[in-house]
């Protein structure tokens, strides 16, 4: 399973950012159907690397050497990690309390699963 980002205009968010991220076995956008295996669309579907969250140590700018999703185990050399909660995209890391705490401390808006719900836009009244 890979992580991808679709940058097709029809997949832009409400702010116009081309940031529709999805997980799939193949680089095909589930929202618009753009197939990244077709050469002319290869630059529209971007393969993303997993970025784990590595909490900071007592020295600013240096992590503790382990990532949030595997506490107590040294971070493998080939794993990419960041100390910025807003940049980490590992779902397992983002599910941890240490990531939630860092995200809230940095001012990142977090959504807790137990309080998450879908909001609908208000319907226009007919005159």
Query: What is the percentage of the chain residues whose pLDDT exceeds 90?
Result: 58
Tokens of 117: 């719900």
For the chain, what is the mean pLDDT? 87
Per-residue pLDDT for 46 more than 80?
yes
116 pLDDT tier (thresholds 50, 70, 90): low
pLDDT of residue 106: 85
115 pLDDT tier (thresholds 50, 70, 90): low
Per-residue pLDDT for 113 more than 70?
no
d(CA 104, CA 123): 33
92 pLDDT tier (thresholds 50, 70, 90): very high
pLDDT of residue 117: 62
DSSP states of 41-100: GTTTEEEEPPEEE--B-SSTT-B-SS-TTSTTSPPPTTSEEES-TTT---HHHHTSHHHH
- Structure letter (DSSP) for residue 114: G
108 pLDDT tier (thresholds 50, 70, 90): confident
Per-residue pLDDT for 119 more than 90?
no
């Amino acid at each position: 399973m890979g992580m991808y980002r679709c940058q097709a205009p029809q997949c832009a968010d409400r702010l116009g950012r081309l940031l529709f991220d999805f997980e799939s076995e193949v680089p095909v956008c589930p929202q618009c159907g753009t197939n990244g295996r077709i050469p002319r669309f290869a630059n529209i579907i971007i393969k993303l690397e997993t970025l784990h969250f590595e909490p900071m140590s007592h020295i600013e700018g240096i992590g503790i050497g382990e990532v949030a999703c595997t506490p107590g185990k040294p971070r493998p050399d080939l794993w990419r990690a960041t100390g910025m909660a807003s940049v980490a995209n590992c779902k397992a890391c983002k599910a941890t309390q240490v990531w939630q705490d860092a995200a809230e401390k940095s001012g990142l808006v977090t959504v807790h699963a137990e309080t998450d719900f879908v909001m609908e836009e208000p319907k226009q009244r007919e005159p």
